[in-house]
């Protein structure tokens, strides 16, 4: 039973990811996932879930690898059972946003283009106007989003759990409320330095006091557009190639990692990696906007691509597509955080006096992390209390308090990823610093110039999604994962 299940599981993931790749990359106008769920529906029925649970119960404890494999399949079955229940709403939301346009300054702009425009529009009045028109589109789809979240909550309870939070805590073996409380120390222990540096930067860059700044200002401010001349678009691929070469990785020989940088109108503004067939076909997708944000986004997604593209072909399918996403995010952050390494900037981009940029980048990164800590706390409340009107208010309050940029309630469901993905980011930020310091200790400060460091990373990547971030941290001797090193890094950089 398990072998046939694995075969169809691999086919489903490949088909599902290809559909998402074509839609998000702007090559398809509509997201058509319902037919895929119908075709492979037997993989995530209640019977399939119960059968996998029985297989797990019947597998002896000392068969550790097999038990881990079945747990991965069970995670997949439950998560897709939830998504299957809401697939029509997922499609409807995607179709609405894909077709939505904004009329601004006599031009028609796609919803995806508007995200780029807000981040790059220097004039505040224009920026806010675009943002408000985006918000209107989001508000018009909130009924669909609310219906979808409600459906996910109902489905979680139908599986015998008190709520969506309880289901995921059992499924993933994580205490999300406990994690949110631990991560909350990032807010308290960086509050003084964050407030001080943010006030200075907002006054200097935008001529604003903290109490005047809103979400549209944050999107522009955190883009660090004033430094974009140091990050020319034509050098991006060279920098990527040379960075990987320093680790002993020849990207020209990696025929399995395919880069899609075509600037299609309906291509999502958010860079992404889609491991369609691990490790044989991995798509690395970016929508070029220019500047340091392109570099960060591309390097981040390259970390995902190297992870999935470097997985051993002989891995069982469940160790290729389902695992602890915090692990892959850690590899991704490891590369996109090269942008704050002065030696890397000097060597790769001849950016000599980069101290002001690094300080600005660290402030922007801290703002993003504080935002995600607030998201995690919000998601715990949303998915436990299931009170959507209260959730909208809570979202605004928590985001405003954490980032100091005023957030409205409109995006309370738009700014939401399934399956507590915010927890993956928060854990990954903590582990990435620990992994980076380990590489520096073992291979030198410029670890990215060490072939031995590259060999170690490739050894990790070969295991795909078999292990969790906590497993790898323990394996290299830096665990357990904590937030102390991350907090210290920000306080030191921004003091």
Average model confidence (pLDDT) across the chain: 96
> pLDDT tens-digit profile of 416-466?
999 999 999 999 999 999 999 999 999 999 999 999 999 999 999 999 999
The stretch 204-216 carries a mean pLDDT of 97
d(C-alpha 401, C-alpha 407), whole Å: 9
Beta bridge partners of 103: 108
How far apart, in Å, are the Cα atoms of 165 and each of 36, 144, 382, 385? 27, 21, 9, 10
Angle between helix axes 46-58 and 2-24 (nearest 10 degrees) is 130
**Residue 298 CA from chain centroid, whole number:** 13
Q: With DSSP H G I counted as helix, E B as strand and the rest as coil, what are the percentages for the chain, rounded to 5?
A: 70, 5, 25
Radius of gyration for the chain, computed over Cα atoms and rounded to the nearest angstrom: 22
Using 50, 70 and 90 to split pLDDT, how confident is the model at 397? very high
Q: Which H or E run contains 371?
A: helix 355-385
- Mutual orientation of helices 142-158 and 87-99 as an angle, nearest 10°? 160
pLDDT tens per residue, range 101-138: 999 988 899 998 999 899 999 999 999 999 999 999 99
What ranges make up the beta strands (E) of 286-336? Answer: none
Spell out the domain ranges in the chain. Answer: 2-99, 176-494
pLDDT in the model for residue 223: 93
Q: Are strands 107-110 and 257-260 parallel, antiparallel or unpaired?
A: unpaired
Cα dihedral 88, 92, 94, 99, rounded to 10, equals 150
Q: What is the DSSP letter of 316?
A: -
pLDDT band at 23 (very low <50, low <70, confident <90, very high): very high
For 370, left (φ over 0), alpha (ψ -120 to 50), or beta?
alpha
Q: How far apart are CA 315 and CA 320, in angstroms?
A: 7
Cα distances (angstroms) measured from residue 449 to each of 81, 383, 437, 444: 45, 44, 15, 9
Is residue 290's pLDDT more than 90? no
- The arithmetic mean of pLDDT across residues 66-77, rounded, is 97
> How far, in Å, CA of 371 to CA of 381, rounded?
16
Structure tokens at 258: 């395919």
DSSP 387-413: -HHHHHHHHHHHHHHHHSSB--SGGGT
Q: Is the pLDDT of residue 266 over 90?
A: no
**For residue 1, pLDDT beyond 80:** no
| Number of Cβ atoms within 10 Å of the Cβ of 29 | 12
Q: Between vectors from CA 208 to CA 202 and to CA 212, what angle results, nearest 5°?
A: 115
pLDDT band at residue 270 under the 50/70/90 scheme = confident
- 154-163 long-range Cβ contacts below 8 angstroms, 24+ apart: 154/85, 155/81, 155/82, 155/85, 155/86, 156/82, 159/46, 159/49, 159/78, 159/81, 163/383, 163/384, 163/386
For residue 265, name the pLDDT band (cuts at 50, 70, 90). Answer: confident
Q: Is 490 exposed, middle or buried (0-12, 13-18, 19+ CB in 10 A)?
A: buried
Rounded to an integer, what distance in angstroms lies between the CA atom of residue 10 and that of residue 304? 19
pLDDT of residue 278: 98
Sign of CA dihedral 352, 357, 359, 362: negative
Residue 427, Cβ density class (10 Å: 0-12 exposed, 13-18 middle, ≥19 buried): buried
pLDDT higher than 80, residue 257: yes
CATH of domain 176-494: 1.10.1370.30
Rounded to 10 deg, the angle between the 342-349 and 236-246 helix axes is 120
Using the structure block, give the residue that is written with the tokens 């079945």: 70
Pair of tokens at residue 135: 């918000």
Give me the mean pLDDT over the 294-309 stretch. Answer: 96
300 membership: H or E segment, kind and range? helix 292-309
What tokens appear for 306 in the block? 């190297």
């Amino acid at each position: 039973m398990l072998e046939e299940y694995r075969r169809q599981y691999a086919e489903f993931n490949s088909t599902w990811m290809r559909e998402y790749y074509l839609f998000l990359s702007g090559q398809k106008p509509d997201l058509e996932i319902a037919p895929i769920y119908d075709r492979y529906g037997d993989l995530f029925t209640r019977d399939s879930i119960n059968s996998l649970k029985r297989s797990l119960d019947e597998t002896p404890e000392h068969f550790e690898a097999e038990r881990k494999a079945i747990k991965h399949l069970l995670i997949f079955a439950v998560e897709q059972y939830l998504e299957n229940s809401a697939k029509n709403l997922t499609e409807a939301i995607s179709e609405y946003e894909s077709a939505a346009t904004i009329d601004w300054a006599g031009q028609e702009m796609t919803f995806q283009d508007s995200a780029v425009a807000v981040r790059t529009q220097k004039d505040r009045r224009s920026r806010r106007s675009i943002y408000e028109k985006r918000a209107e589109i989001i508000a018009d789809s909130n009924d669909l989003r609310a219906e979808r979240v409600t459906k996910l909550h109902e489905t979680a309870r139908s599986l015998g759990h008190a709520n969506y939070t309880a289901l995921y805590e059992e499924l993933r073996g994580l205490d999300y409320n406990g994690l949110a409380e631990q991560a909350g120390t990032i807010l308290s222990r960086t509050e003084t330095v964050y407030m001080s540096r943010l006030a200075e930067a907002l006054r200097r860059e935008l001529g604003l006091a903290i109490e005047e700044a809103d979400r549209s200002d944050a999107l522009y401010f955190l883009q660090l557009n004033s430094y974009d001349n140091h990050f020319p678009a034509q050098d991006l691929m060279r920098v990527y190639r040379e960075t990987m070469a320093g680790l002993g990785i020849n990207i020209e020989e990696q025929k399995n990692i395919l880069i899609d940088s075509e600037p299609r109108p309906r291509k999502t503004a958010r860079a992404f990696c889609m491991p369609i067939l691990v490790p044989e076909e991995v798509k690395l997708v970016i929508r070029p906007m220019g500047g340091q944000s392109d570099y960060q986004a591309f390097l981040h997604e390259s970390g995902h691509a190297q992870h999935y593209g470097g997985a051993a072909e002989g891995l069982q399918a469940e160790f290729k597509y389902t695992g602890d996403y915090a692990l892959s995010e850690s590899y991704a952050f490891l590369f996109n955080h090269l942008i704050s390494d002065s030696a890397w900037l000097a060597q790769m981009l001849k950016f000599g006096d980069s101290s002001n940029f690094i300080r600005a980048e660290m402030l922007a990164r801290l703002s993003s992390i504080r935002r995600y800590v607030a998201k995690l706390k919000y998601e715990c409340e949303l998915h436990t209390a299931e009170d959507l009107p209260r959730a909208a208010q809570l979202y605004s309050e928590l985001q405003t308090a954490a980032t100091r940029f005023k957030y409205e309630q409109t995006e309370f469901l738009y700014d939401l990823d399934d399956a507590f993905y915010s927890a993956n980011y928060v854990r990954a930020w903590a582990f990435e610093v620990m992994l980076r310091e380990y590489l520096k200790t073992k291979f030198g400060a410029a670890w990215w110039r060490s072939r031995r460091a590259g060999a170690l990373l490739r050894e990790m990547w070969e295991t795909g999604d078999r292990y969790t971030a906590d497993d790898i941290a323990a394996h290299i001797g830096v665990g357990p994962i904590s937030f102390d090193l991350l907090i210290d890094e920000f306080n030191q950089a921004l003091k």
